[in-house]
A and B are shown apart, each in its own frame.
Chain A
Amino acid sequence: MEAMPQQVAESISRLIRQQHGRPDALIEVLHRVQERIGYLPRPALAQVARELRLPLSRVQGVASFYHLFRLTAPTAHRCAVCLGTACFVQGGGELAARLERRLGLRLDDPAGNGTWALEHVSCVGACGQAPVLVVDGRLEPRLPLDDPEALAARLDALGLAGALRPVVP
């Protein structure tokens, strides 16, 4: 298990103190650690367990239970495709399939294509704007699925361009 830089470890201690070291603040602490590091590496979980006086199994169990906690380093860019019911009715599934082809990756594979990862989200409550994407944390409304050219332009503008793929002769 690789050690974390001193500076990161100190900032984790600090934010645990901000929560008064209360074990019931575990989820809040994990949120903040993830904000700080981008994901929840094992050494960080071990430190959280130690400082909240909880068994590591409990911390690991909570971190792996909730969808929003990431246990591996994220790709540089992330795109979430909403598969809620309104988005489903408006073609969210098809949008996900197109993005898989376009980016050369698989949905919900955290490694993605190296630069982008595509994940599903069950509903972001933006049903009035369906179908929606969340691109690097920004909500993108009303993707024009019925107009392939406009869709391609929107996706290009968002930087969701195809990764380097072998050219098919």
Chain B
Amino acid sequence: MRAMSSDGATPPPLQLRCCGASGCRCAGSQALFAALLQARDQLGGAAEAVLIRSVGCLRLCGRGPLVALDRPEHPSCLYAALTPQQAPDLLAVAAGLADHRQRGLAAQRIAADHPFFALQRPVVLEHCGLVDPESIDDAIALGTYAQLRRVLAERTPEQVREQVKRSGLRGRGGAGYPTGLKWDTVALQPPGPRSVVCNADEGDPGAFMDRSVLESDPHRLIEGLAIAAFAVGAERGVVYVRAEYPLAVERLRLALKQARARSLLGTAIAGTRFSLRLELRVGAGAYVCGEETALLASIEGLRGTPRPRPPFPAELGLAGAPTLINNVETLAAIPAILREGGDWYAAIGTAASRGTKVFALSGAVERTGLVEVPMGTSLRTVVCTIGGGVPGGMGPDRGVKAVQTGGPSGGCIPASHLDTPVAYESLRDLGSIMGSGGMVVMGEATAMPEVARHFMRFSVRESCGKCVPCRAGTVQLAELLDRFVERRATLADLERLELLCAMVQATSLCGLGQAAPNPVLSTLRWFRAEYQAACRQPQRCEGGVP
């Protein structure tokens, strides 16, 4: 919870930073904000010196509404679950008129050295919760757009791509493809127009990292995207945001308008010869549109159905032009990489998975919210130390039964592997994937065949219907899983389940279908006994399968 800009030079003023992201909003942050303004007027005197600002996500989303307090000469701290009635108390504390203990705020106060914050390493989220997402002046004061200006004035596209390659950054949408390589592929296509697309169709249930970036620091994304466009020679860009994120759409729309007005987008950006026409496209509720070829179809106003690759969008994308498609978090990491250098970023994380990763921690866990940690941090650190484990959970695993990562394309990692470092390869070896960053904690109360069915039903609903293995296979898989959930399965069902999983995986057209069996396969791998126990004659199942 650093309250300084990333260069660390300016100490924060006396201020209350009120979370205005959608999590805290639904918990009543707008009423709290109004109450704080009113309380300041009423208190007057020393309270008038307290700056009250609306900012983005303060990360501990499960305990909103949240307000951070910065006082010169004091470490910053966070107040959670505040009510409008507590506004005068909080203001009195902020103004130094009273101590938080006197005002009954002790139980709601979270210090900056709390493990939830102390173990995080904000890079993508460095300004999240500091900057007012609706103010471009605020963003510029914190250094946003400085890298874009510098790159346009002093660097060639090759030099920019070189830094990104050095950083070792890999796609944060889930696939983990090396970002620099992708940029090179697009840049080195034959001469002609190119496009950049930001995939903000964050559809994995349990994922809200991109929503938080869009709602909290939209100018950072625009800067990253503009730098990417310069690096690959694109003059057209599209941000595709899912319609389920109305506040993100609203703030991004405002940010685009502000950036255009400052000549940071449009023609002759910042007085250079570089131009970028950037537009916003809003989805209409289709998970499959997160797949890159389906996303392109949707941008062109078509049904969001994938097509076979190759040709890859890097060769043949929007309007037939080579198109760079990157996820929100990937692009939001770019300004920091260029500011500090690719080598700086590469020094964070593990050999194959560099840098930091933002996770959305939720489910049966004490502290839910946004977590950005260096790659290679153990699951245990994230789930048990930062997250606090399952509420009321005991023992070294804190009541954790499994951690689901990667959404409907991922899997469940059992508590026995909590010491696994979070990285692309290590999660894949356990039968799950890093995915986009959703991390859902499950306690003993959650039955694994039900989890598998939950995801399979999701895949049934979201299958676009184009290819048969996914369209029909997921329905059959869901029906087989019904038998396990309802405890009427047989040994043959277990075999059929595994056969069908292998078939859907091998023969589906796009990643959605190919990965749809993953939640079944990973729960079968680690929690097979639960499937066996769900058979009508459990003993036969146990005997029949090694």
Chain A residues within CB distance 8 Å of chain B = 23-28, 30-31, 58, 61-62, 65-69, 83-90, 93, 121-130, 132, 138-142
List 7 A-B residue pairs with CB atoms under 8 Å apart, sorted by A's residue number: A58-B302, A68-B284, A69-B284, A83-B454, A125-B245, A126-B208, A129-B62
A65 to B243, Cβ gap below 8 A?
Answer: no
- Whether A27 lies near B298 (C-beta < 8 A) is yes
B208 touches A90 (CB 8 A): no
Stretch at the interface among B3-11, B151-159, B256-264, B363-371: B363-371
| B336 interface residue per 8 A CB criterion | no
- Chain A residues with CB under 8 Å of B26's CB are 126, 129, 132, 138-141
Cα of A62 to Cα of B446 in the assembled complex, Å: 37
Q: Which of B208, B364, B462 contacts A89 (CB 8 A)?
A: B364
User: Is B207 an interface position by the 8 A CB rule?
Assistant: yes
What is the number of residues of chain B that contact chain A, defined by CB distance less than 8 Å? 54
CA distance A90 to B365 in the complex (A): 10
B168 on the A face (CB < 8 A): no
- Would you call B362 and A86 a contact (CB within 8 A)? yes
Cα(A69)–Cα(B62), bound, Å: 31
Complex interface: chain B residues within 8 A of A84 (CB): 205-206
Cα distance, A7 to B451, chains bound together (Å)? 50
Q: Is the CB of B302 within 8 A of A62?
A: yes
Does B314 make an interface contact (CB < 8 A)? no
Least distance between B295 CB and chain A CB atoms (Å): 12
Q: Are the C-beta atoms of B61 and A90 separated by less than 8 Å?
A: no
CB distance from A40 to the nearest CB of B (A): 11
A122-B286 Cα distance, complex, nearest whole Å? 10
The residue in chain A whose Cβ has the minimal distance to the Cβ of B443 is A89
Contact pick for A122, options B64, B368, B404, B462, CB 8 Å:
B462
Q: Which of B26, B361, B368 has the most CB of A within 10 A?
A: B26
Residues of B bordering A, CB below 8 Å? 22-23, 25-27, 61-62, 64, 202-208, 211, 243-245, 281-287, 298-304, 360-364, 368-369, 404, 407, 438, 440-442, 446, 451, 454-455, 458, 461-462, 464
In the complex, the chain B residue whose C-beta lies closest to that of A93 is B454
Chain B's closest residue to A30 (CB) is: B284
Inside 8 A of A93's CB, which chain B residues have their CB? 454
Q: Which residues of B contact A28 (CB under 8 A)?
A: 281-282
The residue in chain B whose Cβ has the minimal distance to the Cβ of A61 is: B303
Residues of B within 8 Å of A127, CB to CB, are 61, 205-208, 360, 362-363, 368, 438, 440
- The minimal Cβ–Cβ distance linking A64 to chain B, given in whole angstroms, is 9
Contacting residue for B243 out of A68, A140, A141, CB 8 A: A68
- Name the residue on A nearest B301 (C-beta): A26
Contact assessment for A123 and B205 in the assembled complex, using a CB-CB cutoff below 8 Å: yes
> Which residue of chain A has the shortest Cβ distance to B457 in the bound complex?
A83
Q: Does the CB pair A90–B298 fall under 8 Å?
A: no
Which residue among B23, B202, B304 has the maximum number of chain A CB atoms within 10 Å of its CB? B23
For the complex formed, measure the closest distance between the CB of B516 and the CB atoms of chain A, giving whole angstroms: 14
A127 CA to B363 CA, complexed, in Å: 7
The smallest beta-carbon distance between B188 and chain A, in angstroms, is 27
Q: Would you call B206 and A24 a contact (CB within 8 A)?
A: no
Given A65-B286, A129-B23, A130-B362, A23 and B301 contact (CB-CB distance below 8 Å):
yes
State A139–B211 Cα separation when bound (angstroms). 15
Interface centre among A27, A121, A132, A138 (most CB of B within 10 A): A27
Q: A123 to B245, alpha carbons, bound, how many Å?
A: 10
> In the complex the two chains form, is A66's CB within 8 Å of B404's CB?
no
Are A85 and B438 in contact (CB-based, < 8 A)?
yes
Q: Which B residues are CB-close (under 8 A) to A58?
A: 302
* A125/B442 in contact, CB under 8 A: no
Contacts of B61 in A (CB 8 A): 127-129
Select one of A27, A66, A129, A130 contacting B363, CB under 8 A. Answer: A130
Q: By the criterion CB–CB under 8 Å, are A125 and B363 in contact?
A: no
| Contact in complex: B285, A68 (CB < 8 Å) | yes
| Contact (Cβ within 8 A) A85 B300 | no
Nearest-CB distance from B434 to chain A (Å)? 16
B360 proximity list for chain A (CB < 8 A): 127-128
Taken together as a complex, chains A and B put the C-alpha atoms of A89 and B360 apart, in Å, by 15
Q: Please tell me if the beta carbons of A123 and B207 are within 8 angstroms of each other in the complex.
A: yes
Chain A nearest CB from B195 CB (Å) reads 13
Give B108 Cβ to nearest chain A Cβ, in Å: 16
In the complex with contacts A84-B205, A122-B203, A65-B304 CB distance below 8 A: yes
In the complex, how many angstroms separate the beta carbon of B426 from the nearest chain A beta carbon? 21
Considering the chains assembled together, what is the distance between the CA atoms of A125 and B440 in angstroms?
12
Known: A65-B304, A123-B206. A24 touches B442 (CB 8 A): no
Complex CA gap A140/B245 in Å reads 15
Assembled-state Cα–Cα distance A62/B283 (Å): 12
- A19 — nearest CB in chain B belongs to which residue? B301
B320 to chain A, nearest CB (A): 13
Contacting residues, chain B, for A142 (C-beta < 8 A)? 27
Return chain B residues, CB-CB under 8 Å to A69.
284-285
Known A-B contacts A62-B302, A125-B245; A86 and B22 likewise in contact (beta carbons under 8 Å): no
A66 to B304, CA, bound (A): 8
Besides A88-B451, A127-B362, 12 other CB < 8 A contacts? A23-B301, A62-B301, A67-B284, A68-B284, A68-B285, A84-B206, A86-B205, A122-B458, A123-B204, A128-B23, A128-B362, A130-B363
* Complex CA–CA separation, A126 to B369 (angstroms): 9
A128 with B205: CB separation less than 8 A: no
> Within the complex, what minimum Cβ distance (angstroms) separates A82 from chain B?
8
